[in-house]
Amino acid sequence: MTPFTWNEENIAIVKARYLSGHTATVIMHEIGAPSRNSVIGKIDRLGLRRDRSMPVFRAQRRSSRHFAISAYDMVQKLERRARRAMRKEMPPEPPVPPREMPIAPECPPMGERCQLMDLTSKTCRWPIGQVGHEDFFFCGAVPEEDSPYCPYHNVVAHK
Ligand SMILES: [Zn+2]
C-alpha cells in the first residue's frame, strides 16, 4: 500500500467532498488520510469554507445506524397501518358468550315451583326465598335421579 500523500487527486476529493457537505472523518476514510486532523488542516490550508446551512453527511457508521433506525420506524409504521386497515375491514368481534354452566337448561327452572305439602319424590326440594315468607317456595322441578334436587340445584348445592 502506498503511503498517503496530498496529491492532486486527494486534494480534489477533499475539496469536492467538503464542499458537498461531508465531514472530515468521511473524507479521511475515503482518501486514506492518516488522521481527521490532517484533513481539517488541509481544508484550512486550502481556505475552503462552506455554507453553514448545508446538510452535513456524518460518518458512515453513524449514518448506517440512522438508516437502521428509520427502517425500523418504517416497518413499525407499516405494521400499524396494516393493523388499522384490518380493524376497519373486520366486523366487530361477537360478544363473548357467557361461560356455560355445566347444568340443566333452565337456571333455575321456575315453572314447577311448589309449597311444602306439594313436595314429592318427583320435585326438587331446593328452598327459594325466606322460610315463612309468602314468597317462599320450593323449586319443584324434576329432580335428578337419586337426588332431592333438580340438575341446577344439584350444582348449586355442591358448590
Ligand atoms: Zn331445583
Task: Give residue-wise pLDDT tens across range 130-140.
Answer: 888 888 889 88
Both 4 and 55 in a single domain? yes
Q: Per the domain annotation, does 47 fall within a domain?
A: yes
Summarised one tens digit per residue, pLDDT across range 104-151 is: 444 556 667 788 888 888 899 998 888 888 888 898 888 998 899 988
Contacts of 102 (CB under 8 A, 6+ apart): 155
Q: Per the domain annotation, does 114 fall within a domain?
A: yes
Q: Per the domain annotation, does 81 fall within a domain?
A: no
Q: Per the domain annotation, does 29 fall within a domain?
A: yes
Final residue before a domain boundary, out of 10, 30, 62: 62
Residue 45: what pLDDT? 92
Both 52 and 108 in a single domain? no
Residue 103: what pLDDT? 44
Summarised one tens digit per residue, pLDDT across range 65-90 is: 555 667 777 778 888 888 888 777 76
Report the domain count for the chain. Answer: 2
3-class DSSP assignment, residue 141? coil
Final residue before a domain boundary, out of 12, 34, 62: 62
Whole-number Å distance, alpha carbon 114 to ligand 1 midpoint, is 10
Both 113 and 57 in a single domain? no
Both 55 and 4 in a single domain? yes
Whole-number Å distance, alpha carbon 100 to ligand 1 midpoint, is 18
Q: Per the domain annotation, does 88 fall within a domain?
A: no
Q: Per the domain annotation, does 37 fall within a domain?
A: yes
Domain of residue 149, residue span: 104-159
Residue 105: what pLDDT? 47
Whole-number Å distance, alpha carbon 105 to ligand 1 midpoint, is 12
Q: Per the domain annotation, does 33 fall within a domain?
A: yes
Whole-number Å distance, alpha carbon 97 to ligand 1 midpoint, is 24
Both 56 and 110 in a single domain? no
Both 1 and 58 in a single domain? yes
**Angle ∠(59,60,66) on CA atoms, nearest 5:** 95
Q: Per the domain annotation, does 3 fall within a domain?
A: yes
What average pLDDT does the structure give for the chain? Answer: 80
Nearest residue to 152 via CA among 120, 115, 113: 113
Residue 15: what pLDDT? 92
- Chain centroid, CA 101 distance in Å: 33
Higher-confidence residue of 95 and 148: namely 148
This prediction's pTM: 0.33
Check whether 37 has a pLDDT greater than 90.
Answer: yes
The arithmetic mean of pLDDT across residues 31-39, rounded, is: 93
Both 111 and 57 in a single domain? no
